[in-house]
Amino acid sequence: MQPRVKLWVEKDGLLVFSDYRAELLNHIARTGSIRGGAERMGLSYRRAWGKIKEIEHNLGVRLVQSEAGGVGGGRTRLTAEAEELLARYRAFRAAAESDVSRDFAEAFGRGG
Amino acid sequence: MQPRVKLWVEKDGLLVFSDYRAELLNHIARTGSIRGGAERMGLSYRRAWGKIKEIEHNLGVRLVQSEAGGVGGGRTRLTAEAEELLARYRAFRAAAESDVSRDFAEAFGRGG
């Protein structure tokens, strides 16, 4: 048997951050645009943009910033706050998954 | 912000135990019958019985046993294996929830 865990973050009972949202931010960072991040997530630009605005509103932080572009137009980058949010969320996830595995092993033992 | 966690147990990629299943066993134990447990869960008797059989099959353990009854018919009780499964699952859940809260506090700090 294996333990499984799904994690997310709420604020005032509202879902404000999750693996899905972290993945969207990550893809925006990698592709350098909301459009590129949306494509990687199989989302419309409009939906990805709306999700970013929703997270920004719920958490009260700015997540993306645009740089005026040369050839081919500008880039969209994550703000320092978004980078920090991602780093904290990843640290939380890694620690939680490791602890849940250990807790399961302790409760069920090797024989399960 | 608050962390949220959903836990369950898989075996060979198959969901074999969860809060829902623990709750069903618990209600059967409290009411002394599969029918009573089903009612408390808002399930049909057939569906509750099927769920018990499914868990028994997946885990390879017997979960319920019937006692021949006197007045009013027999009782259904949890087997010792089912009681142990419930106790282990509860211990796992309690430890995991506590650890996830601590991991979140460590990753996000008080200021969130």
Listing DSSP states for chain B in one string gives -EEEEEEEEEETTEEEEEHHHHHHHHHHHHHTSHHHHHHHHT--HHHHHHHHHHHHHHHT---EEEEEEETTEEEEEE-HHHHHHHHHHHHHHHHHHHHHHHHHHHHHTTT-
pLDDT of residue A112: 45
**Dihedral-angle region of residue B42 (phi above 0 means left; psi in -120 to 50 means alpha; beta otherwise):** left
Please write the tens of the pLDDT for every residue from B80-100. Answer: 999 999 999 999 999 999 999
At A70, the pLDDT band (50, 70, 90 cuts) reads low
Q: What domains appear along chain A, each with residue ranges and CATH number?
A: 11-108 (1.10.10.10)
Interface check B92 vs A, CB under 8 A: yes
Contacts of A11 in chain B (CB under 8 A): 1-2
Counting residues of chain A whose pLDDT is more than 90, the rounded percentage is: 88
pLDDT in tens, B2-20: 999 999 999 999 999 999 9
Q: Could you tell me if A106 lies within 8 Å of chain B, comparing CB atoms?
A: yes
- Taking an 8 Å cut-off on Cβ atoms, the answer to whether B6 and A11 are in contact is no
Q: How far apart are the CA of A5 and the nearest CA of chain B, in angstroms? A: 5
- DSSP reduced 3-state for A73: strand
**Nearest Cβ partner for B4 among A10, A103, A104:** A10
Q: Which residues of B4-24 are buried (b: 16+ CB within 10 A; e: fewer)?
A: ebebbbeeeeeebbbeebbeb
